[in-house]
Amino acid sequence: MPIYEYQCKKCNNIFEYFHVASDDKNVICPECNSKRKNKVVSASKFMPKGFPPSPQYEFPEKKYPD
């Protein structure tokens, strides 16, 4: 299940909610209990393995001819 980010229309609180997309109507603001909210476009945290290089991986040294 993905994590969605919302902004409450009543109190402007931004919060995250972990649920399936079809359960969107049941999301309430944890601050004011309002059901009036907008889905916020947030940055994806998905990155392919090794990009950018993780601390365990180092690029091989370039070897130049002498």
Q: What is the pLDDT of residue 48?
A: 58
Distance CA 49, CA 52 (A): 8
Per-residue pLDDT at 30: 93
Q: Rounded CA gap, 13 and 5, in Å?
A: 10
Domain range summary for the chain, segments of one domain joined by +: 3-40
Inter-residue contact 17 to 26 (CB < 8 Å): no
Look up residue 19 and give its amino acid.
Answer: H
Q: Which residue has the tokens 């309002």?
A: 34
Question: What pLDDT is attached to residue 17?
Answer: 85
Mean pLDDT by 10 residues, the chain (66 residues): 86 88 85 93 59 55 62
Residues 54/48, Cβ–Cβ less than 8 Å = no
8 Å CB contact between 1 and 20: yes
